[in-house]
Amino acid sequence: MNAVQRFIRSRVLLLTASILIVAMCLSVLVQGQSQAALNRTVDQNSRGLYDVLVQAKADDNGGLMQPDIATGQGGVSFEQLDSIRKLSGTSVAAPISLVSRVTQNLESPRLDATDYLGFNAGLAGTSGDPTATDPSKWPAAESVLSDTPKKYRLTASAVSSDGHSDQTLFKTTAEGSVGKAKLIQEQVAGGQNVRIQGPEGETGIKFPTPAGGSEHNLFNLSVSLPMAPQVTESVVAVDPVSERALLGTAGDFLAPLEKAPPADARNAGAIGRHFESLFTNGISMDELKEGPDFLGVKLKYWAPLMTQYQQAKRDGQLTADSQAIPLIVRSGTAVDLKYSVKIEEIDDSGNVTNDVGTVTRSLDKDYLPFVSKSPFALAWPGSKDLSQLMGDTGSFSQGLYNPATWSTNFAAAPAYKDGETAANGAVDKSASPGDWVTVNRLPDKAANGAAVDQTQRNPVDERSYRENLETGKKLATPLAMVYGTFDAASVKDAAGDVNRLPLGGYDPAPFTLTKDASGTDVNTELKPSLSATGLVSQSAGAITDYYGLAAARGYEQNASVIDAVRVRAKVPGSWKQAQPEVEKLANEIRDMGLQATVVAGSAREDASIAVPGYSKDDAGKESPLGTVQQSWVRQDAADAVSGSLTATNLTLLFLTLCGAALLTGASTVSYIRKRRSEAGTLRAMGWTQRRIRSWVLAEFGVGAALLAVAGIALSLISWSTATAVVSASVLVLYAGAAFVAAQQLRHREVVDQDPQHDERLIAVDSPLTFANRQLSANKFNTISLAVAVGVFAAAVGGLVALLIDIPRAAGASALSGLAAASIAFPSVILAVSGVAVGLLLTMVTGRFELQAKRQYLGTLRAMGWNPDMLGQVRFFENAMVGTVALPLGVVGALGIGLLLAPYAALWAAIAGLVAVLCWIPIATKVVQ
């Protein structure tokens, strides 16, 4: 029988070689796959919309970048922008700046109650609209109001929330009597006049100025409510052409801005007069609906522009230098603002006789900055808006009665101070608040010029987290000209989460309150306040171009007003492929004296921020907010993630190799036991020790050859150092085992007739002592099995640690989470294979004595030991092995947990403990 035949016949060797080859293939394959998956994920996600962020030279703030880079402080000139664009490696260079903070008063809120309909029958001609409902089909006259005026009390209030606590902005009450109006026909010179008149005795409901009281009109009794709260917005400037190139199709909303007139054609007075003339000379229904054409753009919101122009002109705000600023405005708002009106019917003594109801409306998705679309038009309970019966009237929202106030009292992003850095890379920071700002003030004068009753609103002190900005020359009041809208959520979705690197710009990173001021855990997403300077800001209210910035700030055209330039390198491909060219481009930009941060390869990471002095109560006492979490940007996260997860992979690989080593050892011992008698026979036949050794090594040689072939093949296929190292390690292990086996088969003289029994041993008088004696008598097997069980338990602990903490083990950034998720499966396979090897190890070592165990259990049975006692023997034997294995398993699991995922180490240790405890009954059952 030659060596190959003997190798095949020796199932232990064949099994060991097979397992080692499988383990080698699996380890290499899984390691290679997971590394490839990791690289793919990192590459795909760490190269965002742009590669390099260019700012004015400043101190490097380390590896964690705050998300809002556009500060309004500028520092980059247009000449430098041009230079960047001319670099051969530049594909897109998109500038961005924070322009201004804009405060506006919303259109006056109103409360409508359906009034007469029927009287319009005689006035159908006034519509002249063929789309209108035929007057004969109009419903009968109706109203929620009574023929006889009743006395009502209206309480109007506005509440805003930052997501954590509510802020009542005002609460105002007015009383008066209102009733159903009547149609009055009067004979006047030349014919009859029809007018609408309230019922006799009606006093109307009048809130303080400038709320205009109540009046009956064509369809409604309309009650003018107190002024809505003041809202501030931020405006950013971009170059629409390069911004579209940067954003791709998600930037199409900027197309109208590209058609805005040049700076010398933006005189506010000229443009205002143009629209005034349109209104004076008449405008077609189509133009009313879609907006008149203005240099190739349909200006849907021309009416607010015209009315604001008229108001500003009347107030004397506009000067000859005033310019119209083209804006793409955000649709909807993240500001949580509710306007409520409570309606109560009261008697002459002021007592409530009937609670009519409360109507509420929020400033939500219909809201448009600069173009308020009746955000707070409320309906009297029970009334219906039937104005559509008149058909398409081409009605437009009049918009704000006052032009917005443009201010530069905002600027730099919140200042943070670094705190402790956690083990996973997360950083604790603290915010440094700026000055208090008072928001929600009323304008001094109403639209008609009358003084405004300031009791309508409660001014609110909010903490500003930004600083004032130095501007150019004295600002000439600009005129907002809305060119279009954009949906912040759509832009955000298009850019993606990881790709929002790192510039907030018009899409600031959200804040989540994680601990309140008392330290209690909460999980509340914070909402922006009324002020644009607060801790949490909403997406930019409007986007303009750099001419708009110059007009709003009063800068000359070539001032260094660019906050940042986002540069995309021309080189295509993944981050790893593009990295050299991107680094080269960044260095070229740095040579211009600018700060160039390579943001490709970076990722989002949460920073915990302690926020002190956040709010102020009526007594002026300041209170902290608590701890908030915001997504910052971890620079070079891709490299860190690759390194971290590669280390995890290598650790798992190492552990699998350790398991394979133990398995090899165990199988070798088994082999030696089986072959010892054969070796004795051969020796008796005259074989020398050397020949017996060669005889053994030849069998191992067959296995080694197989392993070598497999290792070389795998190394060539994968072409990686790791594969070669793994293959070589396995081969060395196997060769070492072969050498030990050959040594162990040497001849031993065993002739000892002295009594061997030690009387100090515990007497065998129970299943427990019997089991103890058996384990003591077979120390080698007992320890081998205990080691195997310990390895199994440690492997189980490692698997649990991996499952629990794969994302955390890779770090704290969003990129790590993605990368970890992508390699989680292969890593788990690797860990499971480690557990399988451990299990196999216990089985192989457990089989050493399985036959002997079954034999002596049979002998005990023949002696009359009952099944229960035999079960106890089996259980105690395994329990004692488990006891020996327990420290190894638990400490091993703890160690592996600490290596793989320190945060899950305790769980790993517990899993190791449970694994040993579970093994005991299973092994007991197997022996049976």
Partner 1 sequence: MTNELNLDREAHDRMTASTRRGAHKTRANTIVKATDHATPLELSNITIHYGGGKGGAEAVNVVDDFNMTLHAGEMHCVAGRSGSGKTSILTVGAGLTLPTSGRVFWEGDSLETMGDDEIADRRRALIGYVDQGGALIDGMSALENVLLPAVPDGEVEQRRDMAKDLLDLVGLGRRMRHRPAQLSGGERQRVAIARALILGTRVLVVDEPTASLDRAAANRIISILKDTTSDGIAVLVASHDHELVRQSDTLTELI
Query: Could you list the residues that contact partner 1 (CB under 8 A)?
Result: 752-753, 755-757, 759, 763-767, 770, 773-774, 776-778, 852, 855-856, 858-869
Beta carbons of 794 and 889 less than 8 angstroms apart: yes
CB of 843 to partner 1, least distance (A): 22
CB of 782 to partner 1, least distance (A): 11
Our CB check for partner 1 shows the closer of 744 and 766 to be: 766
CB of 673 to partner 1, least distance (A): 14
CB of 841 to partner 1, least distance (A): 24
- Helix, strand counts (H, E) of the chain: 20, 32
Q: How many CA atoms within 13 Å lie on the side-chain side of 750?
A: 5
Our CB check for partner 1 shows the closer of 348 and 752 to be: 752
Distance in angstroms (rounded) separating the CA atoms of residues 393 and 395: 5
CB of 763 to partner 1, least distance (A): 7
Tokens of 449: 């010029």
Burial of 144 (0-12, 13-18, 19+ CB in 10 A): middle
Our CB check for partner 1 shows the closer of 348 and 868 to be: 868
Q: Which long-range contacts (CB under 8 A, 24 or more apart) does 310-318 make?
A: 310/272, 310/276, 311/401, 311/402, 311/403, 311/447, 312/268, 312/402, 312/403, 312/477, 312/479, 313/269, 313/272, 314/449, 315/402, 315/445, 317/403, 317/477, 318/268, 318/269, 318/272, 318/476, 318/477, 318/479
Our CB check for partner 1 shows the closer of 688 and 855 to be: 855
Our CB check for partner 1 shows the closer of 285 and 852 to be: 852
Our CB check for partner 1 shows the closer of 713 and 761 to be: 761
Within 10 Å of residue 617's Cβ, how many Cβ atoms?
A: 9
Our CB check for partner 1 shows the closer of 128 and 858 to be: 858
CB of 724 to partner 1, least distance (A): 46
Distance in angstroms (rounded) separating the CA atoms of residues 112 and 216: 10
SS3 readout for 188-243: ECCEEEEEEECCCCCCCCCCCCCCCCEEECCCEEEEECCCCCCEEEEEEEECHHHH
Beta carbons of 123 and 217 less than 8 angstroms apart: no
Our CB check for partner 1 shows the closer of 44 and 778 to be: 778
Beta bridge partners of 177: 151
CB of 676 to partner 1, least distance (A): 14
Our CB check for partner 1 shows the closer of 825 and 865 to be: 865
CB of 926 to partner 1, least distance (A): 20
Identify the DSSP state of 445: B
Q: Give the residue carrying structure tokens 């679309």.
A: 373
| Phi, psi torsion values for 68, nearest 5 degrees | -95, 100
CB of 927 to partner 1, least distance (A): 16
Nearest to 243 by CA among 507, 554, 517: 507
Burial of 263 (0-12, 13-18, 19+ CB in 10 A): middle
Nearest to 285 by CA among 389, 126, 392: 392
In sequence order, what are the residues at sequence separation of 6 or more whose Cβ sits closer than 8 angstroms to the Cβ of residue 308?
399, 400, 401, 402, 403, 404, 479, 480
CB of 755 to partner 1, least distance (A): 4
Our CB check for partner 1 shows the closer of 449 and 755 to be: 755
CB of 848 to partner 1, least distance (A): 14
Our CB check for partner 1 shows the closer of 518 and 753 to be: 753
Helices (H), 442-537: 488-495
Tokens of 857: 């259990």
Beta carbons of 846 and 783 less than 8 angstroms apart: no
Mapped onto helix, strand or coil, the DSSP state of residue 2 is: coil
Beta carbons of 90 and 628 less than 8 angstroms apart: no
Our CB check for partner 1 shows the closer of 180 and 853 to be: 853
Our CB check for partner 1 shows the closer of 249 and 677 to be: 677
Q: Give the residue carrying structure tokens 């006889």.
A: 148
Our CB check for partner 1 shows the closer of 592 and 768 to be: 768
Our CB check for partner 1 shows the closer of 196 and 857 to be: 857
CB of 884 to partner 1, least distance (A): 17
How many Å from the N-terminal Cα to the C-terminal Cα in the chain?
37
Mapped onto helix, strand or coil, the DSSP state of residue 489 is: helix
Identify the DSSP state of 56: S
Nearest to 857 by CA among 869, 843, 844: 869
CB of 851 to partner 1, least distance (A): 12
CB of 743 to partner 1, least distance (A): 23
Distance in angstroms (rounded) separating the CA atoms of residues 258 and 844: 76
Residue type, 270: A
Q: If you write DSSP's letter for every residue of 156-198 in order, what string do you get?
A: EEEEEE-SSSEEEEEEEEEEEEE---EEEEEEETTEEEEEEEP
CB of 645 to partner 1, least distance (A): 49
CB of 857 to partner 1, least distance (A): 10
Within 10 Å of residue 345's Cβ, how many Cβ atoms?
A: 14
Within 10 Å of residue 639's Cβ, how many Cβ atoms?
A: 16
Our CB check for partner 1 shows the closer of 197 and 928 to be: 928
Q: Are strands 220-224 and 110-114 parallel, antiparallel or unpaired?
A: antiparallel
CB of 845 to partner 1, least distance (A): 18
Our CB check for partner 1 shows the closer of 587 and 866 to be: 866
Our CB check for partner 1 shows the closer of 416 and 770 to be: 770
CB of 666 to partner 1, least distance (A): 21
Beta carbons of 170 and 155 less than 8 angstroms apart: no
